Amino acid sequence: MTLPSSIIRLPERTAELAALLIAWSEINSGSGHRAGLDRMRDALRAAFSRIPGAQVADVTLGNDIAPALQIAMRPSAPTQILLSGHFDTVYPPDDPFQHCRWIDAIRLNGPGVADMKGGLVALLAALQAFEDTEHGGNLGWEVLLTPDEETGSRASAPLLADAARRAQFALVFEPARPNGDIVHSRKGTGTLVATCRGRAAHAAKVPNDGRNAIVALAEFLLGASRVPEEMPGVLLNVGNIRGGSPATNVVPDFAEAEIDLRITTVADREPLLARLEALAATINSRDGFKLELAGGFNRPPKECHPAEEKAFAEWQRAAGDIGVAPFSWVHAGGGSDGNLLSAAGLPNLDGVGPVGDHLHSGREIVDVPSIASRAQIAALWLYRKAIGDASPGR
């Protein structure tokens, strides 16, 4: 079949898209950097407003957080696709990593070039190319761009759940893996704070009625770190610990640690938490100790269902027709807003952005030509949905 020329010709825009990416990446929009997030949202609003017919609106999330940006097109069309992205990055304004530089003719190094300002450029380019096709108007879309993905999407989670109700399928523009693979499923993520209280006493008191909170917490943490051995697909990392005082001649009455939790299936959540509570109960059964667990899962796992299997087959077909080298999809240990959309019942393909590597580090890079080629896949997939060449995801 002949493909629409606006989609075929997307790679001709590579230099222009790279310039846009550099401009966006050099706006610092670290999570929590309100002024930078506002500047970035202004830049996005200006770019998306140029799509004829697009309805662009800021969405307030609360007083202490930058608004999200929502762009809607044909909201009453029978098929609705959500395109999800985030415009925050992990780099605060005082991070030394603020500028882009070319590694070679293809690879660009810079803050957020892959995660996910490159994804936002691809998202924009895909919609521009799709809107330039003669698609008949049966497909509407909504873009939701959020300011807090890198810190767990706490403020924007209700917004994502809301948007999930309006759509039949979603595309999440997180970066593709270095080898081109996209995301099949993602682990659910959570954080627990383990706080242990004991009893202070002079270290030299004999007999000693002190209760050493550090030692008790250490015992709990050793037990907790062995739980994944019994639960395949579960990851647990003790990330930090503090306690005691500068005076080593005092039995410390306080210690606290933060633990990163990851699960592959929703079914693992309750057994894992129950296992950790049981370990805490062992400590609590002793006189003078209180070990409490606070926190929990902020993103449930993103599991793969038949709607995603079908969409991935369509995605691969589109990629093949465009001439993108074959790629697969893989399980990812990190969470994304794809997890939240799945939890809200919206099937989605995640990792559909450009190819990137070394995310969340000063070595972050993007494969620049993949911005246009991944946008081509998305545009062709949308086009085929719109003309009824493939049915919606569910």
Burial 163-177 (b: 16+ CB within 10 A, else e): bbeebbbbbbbbbbb
To the nearest whole angstrom, how small is the minimum distance from the Cβ of residue 86 to Zn ion?
Answer: 6
Residue in the structure block whose two tokens are 């407003």: 49
User: Between 174 and 314, whose beta carbon lies closer to Zn ion?
Assistant: 174
Residue 365 backbone class (left: φ over 0; alpha: ψ -120 to 50; beta: rest): beta
Rounded distance, CA 342 to CA 337, Å?
9
User: Between 117 and 385, whose beta carbon lies closer to Zn ion?
Assistant: 117
Determine, following the binding rule CB under 5 A, whether residue 116 of this chain makes contact with Zn ion. Answer: yes
User: Between 81 and 116, whose beta carbon lies closer to Zn ion?
Assistant: 116
To the nearest whole angstrom, how small is the minimum distance from the Cβ of residue 108 to Zn ion?
Answer: 17
List the one residue out of 392, 359, 385 whose CA is nearest residue 118: 359
- Show the DSSP H helices in 191-259 as ranges: 213-230
User: Between 173 and 327, whose beta carbon lies closer to Zn ion?
Assistant: 173
User: Between 33 and 384, whose beta carbon lies closer to Zn ion?
Assistant: 33
Chosen residue from 115, 132, 268, 357 binding Zn ion by CB under 5 A: 115
User: 152 to 181, contacts with Zn ion by CB under 5 A?
Assistant: 174
Maximum Cα–Cα distance across the chain: 88
Rounded distance, CA 29 to CA 149, Å?
12
CB-closest chain residue to Zn ion: 115
To the nearest whole angstrom, how small is the minimum distance from the Cβ of residue 150 to Zn ion?
Answer: 7
User: Between 143 and 221, whose beta carbon lies closer to Zn ion?
Assistant: 143
Determine, following the binding rule CB under 5 A, whether residue 90 of this chain makes contact with Zn ion. Answer: no
To the nearest whole angstrom, how small is the minimum distance from the Cβ of residue 370 to Zn ion?
Answer: 16
Kindly write out the interface string for residues 174-213 of this chain, putting x where it contacts Zn ion by CB under 5 A and - elsewhere. Answer: x---------------------------------------
Q: How many residues at the interface with Zn ion, by CB under 5 A?
A: 3
Three-state DSSP class for 298? Answer: strand
Rounded distance, CA 261 to CA 186, Å?
13
List the one residue out of 385, 393, 298 whose CA is nearest residue 345: 393
Determine, following the binding rule CB under 5 A, whether residue 148 of this chain makes contact with Zn ion. Answer: no
The residues binding Zn ion (CB under 5 A) are 115-116, 174
